[in-house]
Each structure stands twice: as C-alpha cells, then as structure tokens.
Amino acid sequence: MTHARRSGALQDVNLALALYRQQQWDAAAGRLERLLAHDSTRDDLRIALGDCLLRLHRPRQAAECFARCLGSASQAPALFGQAVACQMLRRFDESEAAYGRFLEWEPRSEEALANLVALSMERLDMDRVQRYAGRLLEIAPDSCAALQGLIVAAASRGDFGQAGIHLQRLLELLPRSQIFRNDPAVPSDRLDRDENGTLLYFMNRAGSERLARTHHSFFEPGAVTGIAARTLARR
Amino acid sequence: MWHPRARTIPDPSPPAPPVLRFEFPVSWSYLSATPDDSRPMRPGPVIPAARGRGPNDRWEMVVPPMQRPPSKLPAPPAASPAPPPVFAAPHAPPRVTPVYYGPGVNVTFSFPETRPREPFWASIPPGVKIGGAMGIVLIAVAALFPFGPSQPALAPAPRMEIAPALPAGPADWIEKYSLLPTAPDRTRRVSLIRGSGNLTGFRLELRALIQEKALACAFRVRDPGNFFVMKVLVVRPSADPLVALERFAVIGGRDEPHAQIPLPMQTYLDTPYRVRLEAVGNRFTAWIQDVKVDEWTDSRLPAGGVGISREPGELWRLQGDLKVYPLSKSL
C-alpha cells in the first residue's frame, strides 16, 4: 500500500469516526461498512457500526455485525451489542444468554442488569425481574429500573408492604408525574411501548389502590389535591 | 329558592389513585461511552496479522542515546505485527522486536542479544580464575575486618524536595507558545504552564484518554524552537492496539530523531493512560500506568517550561488535572 493510499485510508477512518461521534448514524454506518470491507480486522470499527445499526433500528444487521468481532479484547462490547440487538428482536433467550456472558466480564454493569430487568418484564417473568432488579439494586441503590422492577415483582406476588417501601424510595428519585398517570383510559395491567420504543408497564387500579391503602403517604398529596380539585369543580 | 349548587354533596369517598406507570428503556450507551478503569483489561488472543509492508515503507535503525540494562528492556508486545527483517546471522537469528510505525517514521529496534555466547568461565584462563578467587576472598576478609575508619560504601541518593503542584487552571496557560510547522500543512502547537518557566526538576502527572493517535507533553521548553516532546502514541489502532512511548527533541525548530519504546503492558483503545514524567538535571524517567517505561539522559536543555504539545490528528482528553510538581535537590 502506498503512502498516499494509507494516509487516505486513515482519513477515511477519521471521517467515519467523526460522523459517528456527531451521531450521523446513517452516514457513519455507510463509511464504516466500506472501511470494514477493506479491513475486516478492525473490531473497533465493527462495534461502532453495530452501534449505528442499533440506532438506525436495524437490529438484525447489528446482531450479525457484533457476531463477527474477532478479538477477545472486543468481546465484552460485542457481547453487549449482541444482547441488545437480540432483545430488540425479541429473541429473549439469546439475549439473556449474551447478557449473562457479558456480566461474567463486567459483573457490575448497571446498564446490562437494567436491560435484563426490562427483558424479564417483557416476558412477565417476575422471578427473573426480582433477581435482576435485586442484583442491580445492590450495585446501584438509586437505580430507578431496579426499584420499578422490585415494585412490580412485589406487587405481583401480593407483597404490597415491600412494594410500598420501594415506591417510597422511587418517589424520592423521580418526579411524581413520571410515576403516576391519571389517564382513566388505562384500565388494567398493561405492557405498552412509547414512541421511543421504551417499554411501559401500567399497574392496574386495584394494585395501585392496594399500594395506596398500604402506604397512604405516597398518595396523600395527590389525593388531597384531587379532593380539593373535585370539590372546587362542584361548587 | 332552589339552586342546583345547593344540592351538590361533596363526594365522601377518596379519589381513585392514579395508575402507576413504569418505564423500562433498553439502552446501550456502553458501546459508545468512554469507559473507565473498571473495564477489565484482559489480554486477548493474537489479532490476525497486519498486512504486508509496502515497497515505499521506510525502516531505519536508530541507536538509542543511552544504553539501558537488559532487565529494564520492555517486554516485546504479545502480537508483533510485522515480519522480522532478515539478518545475516552466523549462529542464530537475532531476537528483534520490530515495531512498524508507517512510512517516513523512524523505527527503533532493540537487540537484547545478537548471537549465542559461550559461558563466561570457559573463556577465562585457569591462572586468572585462581587469582580472581583469591581476590574475592581478600575482599571478603577486608569487608569483615575493616582496618581503618569505616567509610560509607555508596553515596546516598540525592533526596528530592517536592514543591506543591503549579497552578494549571485555564488562566495559567500560555496558549500556542510555540507554533512550529512539522509538514507543509501541519503545525505543532505547544502550550506552556505559566509558572513552569525555568524548571530544572519537575514531576509531571496526568491521566488522559487518547481519542485519536497520541497524547503529548512538552518539557524543558527553553524557547519556541527548543524543547523536548514525549508522546504516548497509538501506533496501530485496533482492538489490540500497538502503543508506544515516543520521545524526541526539537532543537532549532527541527525534530531530532524520534525514539520509540513499545509499552510493555496490555492496553486498549479506550484505556486511560496515567503518565508520569520526572526530570532531575539531565536525567529523565517516564512511567506509564505506574510502570517505568523509559529512562534516558539528555543535557542539551538543562531547564525550561512544561506544557502540552498538539499536532493535527492528535486528540486526547485529560481526565482530572495535569499536575506539575517542581523538584529540587534538598541540601
């Protein structure tokens, strides 16, 4: 390879990485694919390409991309990327296995454990939710994902006392408006997704009322406000 | 008189609580975030070999200015990317640690041993052996039973006084103190810590992440055209990168030959580097990740300022503060 060609290749790498840093996912992915076609040993570029593909909602190609990483130095990010891609593809068994292997490398990865909580929620496997959320809470006592998972798991097994304790902690961390929804069109337990693809879980009114009765303090300000508003409206 | 509002009875039952709503997003910021030291640094297997060398690639032998003892030589990198050059060796091929630095860049080879040697004792005549043994016995006796007043065997190492770190806030820098062209379209910029003006001894400490190519500091900056530069250089960026310590002098505005020493430890592209450089008199010592990587002497610039050097294509991010502690010999 001549000097000019090598310096040209280096410029191409720099440009691709600059586009990647600027979050121009489509342009960066195109350049990274071309670079990897010439040099398939660049795992760092492959990880970046996989990230771009995930952002572009192309998880199938992302999973293939991560699977082709060669060196063990890139094994952890490749495993993590593969786990995320499989989770997006709802291939939960593969995803959980990949997260498991990734956690052998990085046992204190909050992000992987939070994703595992989300994955288990989507499966409605409350035992796993409890396990992963508990592990996450040990590492990150302020993790909202862990607290939410533990609330749902505890409420689903009827342990509203424990759920209330976690809810109280969550209320200290998140604005109330993010936890409660007054929309009466949400009648019961439901899994949903918002426009960003985030998994939403709505606890039904019965469960919410049980929590309210167990721990009046969570609902007190809202309840008082609600009563006052209703009273004013009827006058 | 009837009024509908008079008939309104407030609802005694508490309002129904709102529904709990939880979000479980899937995130993968790990793939693009800057990792810290907590990422495990495990040695990986050999990365597939790099491409062959081109006809225009330049290799050059640079004799280091100072001989380092064999025990101090850094271990060769686990995966040497280049095929060893062919040497005409009568007994066995020399153990060479080749490092490829791209075209137009000097390369340092280290030669731990070029040919097998016969045992030392076998080459000594018997008479000399006997004399030597007697001499050793005499020295041992003299050491056990000293005849005169005892003298210290070794002069004590000079004790160094370390002063508080120089202020290195945003206002404490002389930006672009030196702007030297290294190529037609490339300029090296050196910025100096204001208070480091004429230091003869110092300890520089920094922790940084290399985002592109290299991180570099400049020291003993006498004037804009005379200073030393030390870099941590990513020679081959890959999942198993080849990283080297590079140092050179800029004298009269021109780069002297670059000496490069591969880092003996495993690093990755996202490894933050802890760099320490100590200069006392004409002696310089560099540590990376608390491992002594190089030690050399150079008397050309006995004093000068300390700062950072940047060239186009080099990008690094400081993690924490850059600290320069003035050192002086205590009396």
- Taking only the tens place, the pLDDT of each residue in A84-112 is 999 999 999 999 999 999 998 889 999 99
Per-residue pLDDT band at B43 (split at 50, 70, 90)? very low
Q: Which pLDDT value is given to residue A133?
A: 96
| A173, pLDDT greater than 60 | yes
- Rounded to whole angstroms, the Cα distance separating B93 from B98 reads 13
Residue A72 with chain B: CB contacts under 8 Å: 42, 44-45
Domain boundary assignment for chain A: 144-235
Contact across the interface for B240 and A181, Cβ inside 8 Å: no
**Residues whose CB falls within 8 Å of the CB of residue A155, separated by 6 or more in sequence, listed in order:** A163, A203, A207, A210, A211
Q: Which pLDDT value is given to residue B153?
A: 42
**For residue A147, which of A132, A169, A127 has the smallest C-alpha distance?**
A169
More confident residue, B100 or B331: B331
- Rounded to whole angstroms, the Cα distance separating A49 from A19 reads 11
| B219, pLDDT greater than 90 | yes
The helix (H) or strand (E) run that includes residue A149 is helix A144-156
- Rounded to whole angstroms, the Cα distance separating B14 from A128 reads 35
- Rounded to whole angstroms, the Cα distance separating A140 from B115 reads 58
Q: For chain B, what is the domain count?
A: 1
**For residue B61, which of B115, B97, B114 has the smallest C-alpha distance?**
B97
More confident residue, B52 or A82: A82
- Rounded to whole angstroms, the Cα distance separating B149 from B133 reads 26
CB A28: neighbour CB atoms within 10 A? 25
Residue A180 with chain B: CB contacts under 8 Å: 17-21
Q: Which residue has the tokens 């167990």?
A: A214
Contact across the interface for A6 and B8, Cβ inside 8 Å: no
Q: Within 13 Å, how many C-alpha atoms sit on residue A179's CB side?
A: 23
**For residue A3, which of B254, B61, B102 has the smallest C-alpha distance?**
B102
Q: Which residue pairs, CB below 8 angstroms and at least 24 apart, start in B269-272?
A: B269/A44, B269/B210, B269/B234, B269/B237, B269/B238, B269/B239, B269/B241, B270/B34, B270/B35, B270/B39, B270/B209, B271/B41, B271/B209, B272/B36, B272/B37, B272/B207, B272/B208, B272/B209, B272/B319
- Mean pLDDT over B82-92 rounds to 34
Give the highest mean pLDDT range of A6-15, B78-87, B175-184: B175-184
- Rounded to whole angstroms, the Cα distance separating B251 from B301 reads 9
- Rounded to whole angstroms, the Cα distance separating A110 from B143 reads 64
Q: Are B278 and B297 in contact (CB under 8 A)?
A: no
Q: Which residue has the tokens 């002086």?
A: B328
- Mean pLDDT over B65-76 rounds to 45
More confident residue, B137 or B39: B137
Contact across the interface for A77 and B31, Cβ inside 8 Å: yes
Q: Which pLDDT value is given to residue B15?
A: 57
3-state helix, strand, coil in chain A (%, to 5): 75, 5, 20
- Rounded to whole angstroms, the Cα distance separating A21 from A42 reads 17
| Segment A125-137, tens digit of pLDDT | 999 999 999 999 9
Q: Which residue has the tokens 């918002």?
A: A194
Per-residue pLDDT band at B152 (split at 50, 70, 90)? very low
Q: Are A58 and A67 in contact (CB under 8 A)?
A: no
- Mean pLDDT over B92-108 rounds to 33
- Token couple for A31: 């350049």
**Residues whose CB falls within 8 Å of the CB of residue B10, separated by 6 or more in sequence, listed in order:** A230, A231, A234
More confident residue, A187 or B96: A187
- Token couple for B103: 């075209």
More confident residue, A197 or B159: A197
Instruction: Please report whether residue B222 resides in a domain.
Output: yes
| Segment B269-300, tens digit of pLDDT | 778 899 999 998 889 999 998 888 888 889 99
**Residues whose CB falls within 8 Å of the CB of residue A226, separated by 6 or more in sequence, listed in order:** B14, B15
Give the highest mean pLDDT range of A2-16, A24-38, B38-52, B60-74: A24-38
- Token couple for B165: 């770190």
Residue B186 with chain A: CB contacts under 8 Å: none
Contact across the interface for A117 and B24, Cβ inside 8 Å: yes
Residue of B nearest to A129 (CA): B24
Q: Which pLDDT value is given to residue B88?
A: 31
**Residues whose CB falls within 8 Å of the CB of residue A125, separated by 6 or more in sequence, listed in order:** none
**For residue B262, which of B74, B115, B43 has the smallest C-alpha distance?**
B74
Q: In chain B, what percentage of residues exceed pLDDT 90?
A: 19
Residues spanned by the domain of B285: 160-329
| Interface-testing mutation among A12, A40, A182, A218, with chain B (most B C-beta atoms within 10 A) | A182
Contact across the interface for B47 and A235, Cβ inside 8 Å: no
Contact across the interface for B17 and A84, Cβ inside 8 Å: no
Residue of B nearest to A211 (CA): B17
Q: Which residue has the tokens 């409890």?
A: A130
- Rounded to whole angstroms, the Cα distance separating A69 from A71 reads 6
More confident residue, B170 or A157: A157
Per-residue pLDDT band at A120 (split at 50, 70, 90)? very high
How much is the mean pLDDT over chain B? 68
Q: Within 13 Å, how many C-alpha atoms sit on residue A166's CB side?
A: 26
Q: Which pLDDT value is given to residue A131?
A: 95
Q: Which pLDDT value is given to residue A168?
A: 86
Q: Quote the minimal CA–CA distance from B311 to chain A in Å.
A: 15
DSSP state of B15: P
What is the total residue count of chain B?
331
Q: For chain B, how big is the Rg over CA atoms in Å? A: 30
A107 in reach of chain B (CB within 8 A): no
**For residue B292, which of B300, B303, B284 has the smallest C-alpha distance?**
B284
**Helices A75-88 & A59-67 angle (0-180, nearest 10):** 150
| B4, pLDDT greater than 50 | no
Give the three-class secondary structure for A180: strand
- Mean pLDDT over B67-77 rounds to 43
Instruction: Please report whether residue B11 resides in a domain.
Output: no
- Rounded to whole angstroms, the Cα distance separating B310 from B100 reads 22
Residue A77 with chain B: CB contacts under 8 Å: 30-31
More confident residue, A72 or B192: B192
Per-residue pLDDT band at B331 (split at 50, 70, 90)? low
Per-residue pLDDT band at B327 (split at 50, 70, 90)? confident
- Mean pLDDT over A184-195 rounds to 70
The helix (H) or strand (E) run that includes residue A134 is helix A126-139
